[in-house]
Amino acid sequence: MACRSSGGGRRRGLLPAGVIAAALFALLLALPTAARAAADPFAELAATNFDVEAQGVRDLAVSGNPRAHAVINALRDGKLWAWKWPRPDAPLFIRTDSGIVDARTGAAVAAPAPVNLRRVIVNDSVRAAIETAEGALNLVSPVVAARLKAAEALFQSADAGALPLIEQALAKEHDPSVARVLREAHAAALLKSNTGSTEARLAAVDELAERADLLARGLLASLHGQPPQVAAAIAAAVRSIDRSLQLWGLLENVYYGISLGAVLLLAATGLAITFGVMGVINMAHGEMVMVGAYTTFVVQQLIAAFAPALTQFGLLFAVPAAFLAAGLLGVIIERTLIRFLYGRPLETLLATWGLSLILQQAVRSIFGPTNQDVTSPDWMSGAVHLGGLVLTVNRLWIILFALLVLGALMATLRWGGLGRSIRAVTQNRRMAAAMGIRTPVIDALTFGLGSGVAGMAGVALSQIDNVSPNLGQNYIIDSFIVVVVGGVGNLWGTLLGALILGVVDKFVEPFEGAVLAKILVLVLLILFIQRRPQGLFPPKGRVAEA
């Protein structure tokens, strides 16, 4: 399938398909006139009769004149000026911001005395002609995206009268993606017109079956009175489209699920360290995420104030800043609070809950209770079309970022010096201490690492969620669920747990609504803990005993 990228809202909206089709049809009827006016396609625009003027717009549109687009745009915007007195050469001018240009050539000219000029005005029929002309112009526009839009409109209208025009455009079309849509438009128009040989119709049905979207299905389903052979092919095509639509729907749900899973994964990865590896029930984990999000906000403000040129790359600075801010906070918390509570998980839970209340209120006191505005850079907006899927770019980045963070963390734990020490202390604290590892320092750093990762999650979440003092609370329960489902102390389990929860959530959602989906997940979790109290991957061997 072709990979098309759409650049956002800069182009004008798609004209209603019917308008374009009707207009194109009218244009075809007007072809002989166009031939007559070919000598000077602009002349009629200067006419004082609106009907002649409208005809002039239509003629100009199909003339293939390179200036046609600019002149019609100028007419639409009221920037086209004509000579006030009748003259055989009917001069036309466009008033631009920088001066007056000749409409026919686009060359700048000395401004004529204003007294000699009149603005070319339009009425409704001319305005309709302009809309028509824009549709037709787009089909011969040098911009691929514009041609694509016009072709798509043709497809949607499936107007038999447009067949010659489509064929004409097809003959000239070089871009494969536009040609493809034109062929589909041709097929649609052909089938709709109920003419043509059986072979041509069968080929057209094939073309539409290959397009395989809701529009193609609707069009095929609306066809009647076709020859039996074609009718059978149409029925088969509808079935095949249904299957393919179902598949895309499934894939879309999977994507949404993965995207939610990535968010959960980000929020839970830090917890997998503090809770999973250290066994510390940190109810203030969500607040570490919040600290990361607020760091993003502060970094953005700083960049806006001191280095506006870097605005697009603010997030690149925010990631390490958030890691350091949350990590440092984590180290301080470990040294002043957590270390007195090792081995007393229930007390830790209460103390860190209290801490989370303090952090929330502190942020509320400093930044105020309202949401802070964190803007997304341009490279994170937009969407990618992949077959029948629409993937939003910021979600793609978050999935990528979540995997990167998880990968970096795994690498640190496996190969890094700190990671080795962390594993040693977790596996056998006394032996590690005997080997010269300063276990209190490692405890503090481990907690700092987990908190720092939570801070990085906050950077990502600031892009898709409200940056408010309550940001962390929304994720704390989900994060614990992910870690518990995945199995404590197992990062692969965390990954799988996050994905499973995300996908389950999104698959239940369409049927039962978001809230029920959440409830169902929680109920499933309660049942899951009953069945497998140690998560998906229970530890084996010596660790499992005791």
Partner 1 sequence: MRDRLTVATLACVLGGAALLAALNVLTAPASALHVPGFVISLVGKYLCYAILALAVDLVWGYAGILTLGHAAFFALGGYCMGMYLMREIGTRGVYANPVLPDFMVFIGWKELPWYWYGFNHFWFALPMAMIVPGALAFAFGWLAFRSRVSGVYLSIITQALTYALLLAFFRNDMGFGGNNGMTDFKDIVGIPLNRDSASVGLMLVTAVVLALVFVLARAMTRSRFGRVLIAVRDAESRTRFLGYRPESYKLVVWVFSAVIAGIGGALYVPQVGIINPSEFAPANSIEAVIWVAVGGRGTLAGAILGAVLVNLGKTWLTSALPEIWLFAIGAVFIVVTLFLPRGIIGLFTSRRSARAPQPADPAEPKPAAIESTAREAAG
| Closest to 456 measured CA to CA, from 293, 330, 304, 329 | 293
Answer yes or no whether residue 530 interacts with partner 1 by CB under 8 A: yes
User: Whole-number minimum distance, CB 428 to partner 1, in Å?
Assistant: 8
Answer yes or no whether residue 335 interacts with partner 1 by CB under 8 A: no
| Closest to 31 measured CA to CA, from 52, 61, 72, 54 | 61
The pair of structure tokens assigned to 538 is 């229970």
The pair of structure tokens assigned to 366 is 């400093």
Q: In what order do the strands lie in the sheet with 389-392?
A: 5-6, 383-386, 389-392
Binding mask 270-309 for partner 1 (x = CB under 8 A): --------xxxx----------------------------
Among 1, 250, 357, 411, binds partner 1 (CB under 8 A): 357
Stretch binding partner 1 (CB under 8 A), from 135-143, 185-193, 231-239, 473-481: 473-481
Among 341, 396, 504, 536, binds partner 1 (CB under 8 A): 341
CB 273 within 8 A of CB 446: yes
AA letter at 195:
T
User: Residue 202 or 433: which CB sits closer to partner 1?
Assistant: 433
Answer yes or no whether residue 539 interacts with partner 1 by CB under 8 A: yes
Ramachandran sector of residue 118 (left: φ over 0; alpha: ψ -120 to 50; beta: rest): beta
User: Residue 229 or 427: which CB sits closer to partner 1?
Assistant: 427
Among 45, 61, 425, 498, binds partner 1 (CB under 8 A): 425
User: Residue 337 or 410: which CB sits closer to partner 1?
Assistant: 337
Q: Using CA atoms, how far apart are residues 8 and 343, in angstroms rounded to an integer? A: 55
CB 394 within 8 A of CB 376: yes
Please give the biggest Cα pair distance in the chain: 105
CB 112 within 8 A of CB 65: no
User: Whole-number minimum distance, CB 17 to partner 1, in Å?
Assistant: 38
| Closest to 351 measured CA to CA, from 363, 336, 361 | 336
CB 439 within 8 A of CB 429: yes
User: Residue 171 or 346: which CB sits closer to partner 1?
Assistant: 346
Q: Which of residues 443-462 bind partner 1 (CB under 8 A)?
A: 443
User: Residue 259 or 426: which CB sits closer to partner 1?
Assistant: 426
User: Whole-number minimum distance, CB 417 to partner 1, in Å?
Assistant: 20
User: Residue 171 or 434: which CB sits closer to partner 1?
Assistant: 434
The pair of structure tokens assigned to 311 is 């605005």
| Closest to 278 measured CA to CA, from 368, 350, 342, 185 | 342
Answer yes or no whether residue 481 interacts with partner 1 by CB under 8 A: yes
User: Residue 145 or 488: which CB sits closer to partner 1?
Assistant: 488
Among 110, 305, 366, 515, binds partner 1 (CB under 8 A): 515
Answer yes or no whether residue 485 interacts with partner 1 by CB under 8 A: no
Stretch binding partner 1 (CB under 8 A), from 68-76, 207-215, 351-359, 458-466: 351-359
| Closest to 60 measured CA to CA, from 38, 41, 82 | 41
Answer yes or no whether residue 484 interacts with partner 1 by CB under 8 A: yes
Answer yes or no whether residue 343 interacts with partner 1 by CB under 8 A: yes
CB 247 within 8 A of CB 386: no
User: Whole-number minimum distance, CB 517 to partner 1, in Å?
Assistant: 10
User: Whole-number minimum distance, CB 350 to partner 1, in Å?
Assistant: 5
Number of H-type helices and E-type strands within the chain: 21, 7
Neighbour-count burial of 214, counting CB atoms closer than 10 A to its CB (0-12 exposed, 13-18 middle, 19+ buried): exposed
Answer yes or no whether residue 430 interacts with partner 1 by CB under 8 A: yes
What is the DSSP secondary structure assignment for residue 379, as one 8-state letter? G
Contacting residues toward partner 1, per CB under 8 A: 278-281, 337, 340-351, 353-358, 360-362, 364-365, 425-426, 428-430, 433, 439, 443, 477, 480-481, 484, 488-489, 515-516, 518-519, 522-523, 525-527, 529-531, 533-534, 538-539, 543-546
